[in-house]
Amino acid sequence: PGTATPPPPSTTPATTPTTTPASSPTSPGTSPTSQPTSGPSTCTALPSSISLTANSKLPDPFKFISGKRAASKADWACRRDEISQLFQRYELGTLPGKPQSLTATYSGGKLTINVSDSGKSISFQVSVSIPSSGSAPYPAIIGYGGLSIPTPSGVAVITFNNDDIAAQASSSSRGQGKFYQLYGSQHSASAMTAWAWGVSRIIDALEITSSVPINLQRIGVTGCSRNGKGALVAGAFDTRIALTIPQESGSGGAGCWRISDAMLKSGINTQTASEIVGENVWFSTQFSQYVNQVPNLPFDHHMLSALVAPRGLLIIDNTGIDWLGPQSVWGCQKTANKVWQALGAADAMGVSQVGNHNHCAFPSNEQGDLDAFVNKFLKGQNTNTNIIKTDGANGLGFVDANWVDWTVPTLS
């Protein structure tokens, strides 16, 4: 596998607030004043203790922990929230909600975002590149560490230096970065959760800064590899994102843990949950308890994707690199599409899996798939986004019946 593209050099904030890294840890999982995101008030609260039972298939996205099955779109809104809480509890750590204060300034193509909560402050900057074609307000795509897809015409590019918010240098970089300066180095949020928080703050800043000519209804997010995993998490948690494009995110992103484990067992050198937690800080410390008993997890990553539904999601993937778990990504995301089917929006979610290129090098024969999604979800055009395809032999051997023991409801 390749190594991450180095992030752009960290920029010096226009105003440098005096922040000291938190030395007094808050207890993991809590963020004292900011409100975690929550679902509709009519939803049943998730029990504080859940008895987990092993399920070797991809869990039913429609079935609540209570055993009830979602039958309507209103039910789905509650189940979506439940899934979000489950991911935070078992895999990703707690995502704090809106901070107490957020201000932003825009100058010279730099958007400076100042955030305060519980008496601490941080400031971070993103660059905004306005396209030379199209017209204001422009659609925009937030790129983790820049874009690894070709820059779409008429779309602004917001470059997010995610490593500045939460470091991902190695397994020993936990708790490092501006998110942890604000919320404490012991905060339960994994790096990917901290980045998703950062993306939400970028959107908050765009909402209050009318001098940035961005159309708030047309915001996308993308990243490749580890940053593709991150982009998927951002799209999952923030419903203001219209289009999510994880590129070659592999196991821990668009791949399902259960299928990746099966691949390794069959002799394919694929990344698994058990391996990934030793490599980096993308997941919460809690998650380590489950990596050797993946069937006990009450979800898999088809359900991380499902949080994006019915918004736009295009999975861009590579059949040529075993480490990325191409079979896992294919089976996982074909299964995720069933949630869009249930919501009557099957073509808002696509998979384009093509081999014979280097990791994160976008092949030209996927351009049409990318354009179809960008043109529909970021430019409002009427395109055909019925795209679920792999160039892997025999549909990569994925047999639905081996992994899916539930049916797709029609959510009224």
Q: Which residues carry out catalysis?
A: 225, 359
How large is the greatest C-alpha to C-alpha distance in the chain, in angstroms? 58
Question: And the tokens for 93?
Answer: 């750590």
Choice between 144 and 373, CB closer to ligand MCU? 144
CB of 269 to ligand MCU, least distance (A): 11
Question: And the tokens for 273?
Answer: 């949950």
Give the residue carrying structure tokens 């986004």. Answer: 385
Choice between 225 and 335, CB closer to ligand MCU? 225
CB of 251 to ligand MCU, least distance (A): 6
CB of 336 to ligand MCU, least distance (A): 18
Choice between 226 and 258, CB closer to ligand MCU? 226
**Burial track 380-407 (b if 16+ CB lie within 10 A, e otherwise):** eeebebebbebebeeebebeeeebbeee
Cα 243 to Cα 45, 160, 247, 308: the distances in Å are 29, 16, 13, 9
The amino acid at residue 344 is G
Choice between 3 and 23, CB closer to ligand MCU? 3
Choice between 125 and 318, CB closer to ligand MCU? 318
Choice between 50 and 361, CB closer to ligand MCU? 361
Q: Which of the 8 DSSP states describes residue 11?
A: P
Choice between 324 and 339, CB closer to ligand MCU? 324
CB of 203 to ligand MCU, least distance (A): 24
Q: Which residues bind ligand MCU (CB under 6 A)?
A: 1-4, 225-226, 250, 252, 271, 279, 324
Q: Which of the 8 DSSP states describes residue 268?
A: -
Q: At what angle do helices 326-342 and 257-265 cross, to 10 degrees?
A: 150
CB of 182 to ligand MCU, least distance (A): 25
CB of 4 to ligand MCU, least distance (A): 4
- Region of 395 (left: φ > 0; alpha: ψ -120 to 50; beta: rest) is left
Cα 345 to Cα 194, 219, 302, 378: the distances in Å are 29, 19, 16, 17
- CA angle in degrees (0–180, nearest 5) for 200-205-207: 95
Distance CA 215, CA 78 (A): 28
Cα 338 to Cα 244, 325, 409: the distances in Å are 17, 21, 9
Rg over CA atoms, the chain: 20
Contacts of 270 (CB under 8 A, 6+ apart): 251, 255, 260, 263, 264, 322, 323, 324, 325, 328
Distance CA 273, CA 282 (A): 11
CB of 257 to ligand MCU, least distance (A): 13
